[in-house]
Amino acid sequence: MKILSLLLGLTFLYPVQAVPVHNTPPPVTAPAYILQDFHSNQIIMEKNVDERLEPASLTKLMTAYIVFRELHTGRFKLTDKAIISEKAWRMLGSRMYLEVDSQVAIELLLKGMIIQSGNDASVALAEFIAGSEETFVALMNEQAQRLGLTNTHYTNSTGLPNERHYSSVRDIVNLTQALIREFPEYYRWYSMRQFTYNGITQKNRNKLLRRDPTVDGVKTGHTDAAGYCLVTSAKRGEMRLISIIMGATSEKKRIQESQQLLDYGFRFFETYRPYQAHQPLEIQPLWHGTTNQLPLGLEQPLYVTVPTGKYKQLTATLSLDKYITAPVKVGETYGTLKISLDQEVISERPIIALSSIDKGSFWKRLIDSFLLLFY
């Protein structure tokens, strides 16, 4: 293996004034929580992130995710209408007050579910997509498995209590990241502060939208069993953080502790993009190919989140295969890039081929085989 030290060409995503790192995080009383950077996936604070808990209306993140996927594929449009069933009309809890047998546009149902947390809207969307809520739940569990949500299982589209209906903080933050990353055109609805349907105006239950202008989502949840839950996403500059509180004792507590997490993360941490995707980090000798050189780099941009003022202490180590021979296909792995802080690896990514290169002629391969004897 070839070891190569790299200098970090750091791109500032969120320039903040350098201050001493605060070693005392804010006190959080919720039984499970997380604070994570959206771009780097770096966890800043966490507790019981893999414990299976009742997610309450945070369930609707998956309901929305599936509807967004269906819209993205073009299977239906926002202007298409769903016929409201008696089951949807009879749903208890938070509602957008749909009328049975009425025809409601998908866009309105999505807003009613996202902004008003309407259980009736959730069931109406599930029935429109899959014919029945039961069949839709099967889709929810399939998507959970595809996304790697190993501590999640759904029994309904709304989050109403059921002993077999559970998720975890880690799973929910991963789902939230997928939703924001894949569907930015629909995610914007999570920042809407109120929504009016059928002459009834309801405010978004996420009160942080009105307290903090950098907050643009995401979802509240509450049942007696689940306690008070809140998924929050905020963006300051180009840095985005996601916080999750589950099981808080009151609505006030979930708001207060979510705000504390976000303020702590933005104040005492910074996110950088040392390397972009598909840009050569190293040109490696190539044998037996139509060319003698192979550009190597990253498939995705690399982001790191570090305590404020620590970026100059980052080091990068590139470990590459010693011999690379053609043929080579784009995306094949030929090494590893590690980013370290204080001798601790904080990010590790595969190094891939940035070009496809075929085998060279017989004489080229023969000459290279001879040269390799002395390499």
Sign of the Cα torsion 43, 171, 53, 113 reads: positive
Residue 241: strand pairing partners: 37, 234
Helix (H) or strand (E) holding 87: helix 86-89
First to last CA, the chain: 14
Token output for 293: 């050189």
Catalytic residue positions, numbered: 57, 60, 117
d(Cα 100, Cα 362) in Å, to the nearest integer? 75
Q: Which of 29, 63, 56 is nearest to 229 (CA)?
A: 56
CA distances from 253 to 55, 115, 194, 223, 257 (A): 17, 21, 22, 15, 6
**271 and 264 Cβ atoms separated by less than 8 Å:** no
Residue 344: strand pairing partners: 341
